[in-house]
Chains A and B, each alone.
Chain A
Amino acid sequence: GDSVTQMEGPVTLSEEAFLTINCTYTATGYPSLFWYVQYPGEGLQLLLKATKADDKGSNKGFEATYRKETTSFHLEKGSVQVSDSAVYFCALSAGTGANSKLTFGKGITLSVRP
């Protein structure tokens, strides 16, 4: 079945450091890929998405590129801020109709210290 694998956490960085969070997936067909973020005590917010190979999603300085050849969708940010501290989830939607549900990775906690 479909699955998403995220790198193990937690991750602790200093402010202005470069961030990479790895995400790889297994799916039949051509899934859409997403990064969601969960701030403490809140729900999930869509951070960015990509719906086909080589698409780059970007938002709030975060970027991720849909790499079909390596089945990856790694999240990057050039300079993190304390306010980026949150849990980040990589997810896929495998298809249409009954296959449109999201399959999530385990999530990774990012802490950014001043």
Chain B
Amino acid sequence: DSGVTQTPKHLITATGQRVTLRCSPRSGDLSVYWYQQSLDQGLQFLIQYYNGEERAKGNILERFSAQQFPDLHSELNLSSLELGDSALYFCASSVGIGLAGERVQFFGPGTRLTVL
């Protein structure tokens, strides 16, 4: 158990819908990262937050957004869902973003999204 929690574990929805994925980082971790894992794209970085502020964006679609709240949990919002958005979405957290030891990321169990 990494200490990172994600809910829900599974999500099945229809095209055009909107969903919210939730992540709670390990106690004391300030940085949260979101990744998407799909068969064709592999593991892709989506977005990073540090202490409530967005720090980096990767291959994140405009239909997707995220935020990190004052209690440091994070939510990933996916809207106007398409079949191709079906994937496993992982959240990871790290203590910080400075020293090498602080940047080690620990992953949650993931949310499997199926868009029908």
- Can you list 28 A-B contacts (CB < 8 A)? A32-B100, A36-B107, A42-B109, A43-B90, A43-B110, A46-B105, A46-B107, A49-B104, A52-B100, A89-B43, A93-B105, A96-B99, A97-B50, A97-B97, A97-B98, A98-B48, A98-B55, A98-B97, A99-B56, A101-B48, A101-B58, A102-B33, A102-B35, A102-B43, A102-B45, A103-B45, A105-B42, A107-B42
| A45 CB-CB contact with B under 8 Å | yes
Give the contacts of B2-24 with A (CB-CB under 8 A). 2
Q: Is the CB of A104 within 8 A of B48?
A: no
| B108 CB-CB contact with A under 8 Å | yes
Q: Is the CB of A100 within 8 A of B31?
A: yes
- Which range contains the number of A residues in contact with the other chain? 20 to 34
Q: Is the CB of B43 within 8 A of A43?
A: no
How many A-B pairs have beta carbons closer than 8 Å: the answer is 66
| B interface residues (Cβ-Cβ under 8 A, vs A) | 2, 31, 33, 35, 42-43, 45, 48, 50, 55-56, 58, 90, 92, 94, 97-101, 103-110
Partner of B101, one of A34, A45, A51, A101: A51
Q: Is the CB of A101 within 8 A of B110?
A: no
Partner of B106, one of A46, A103, A107: A46
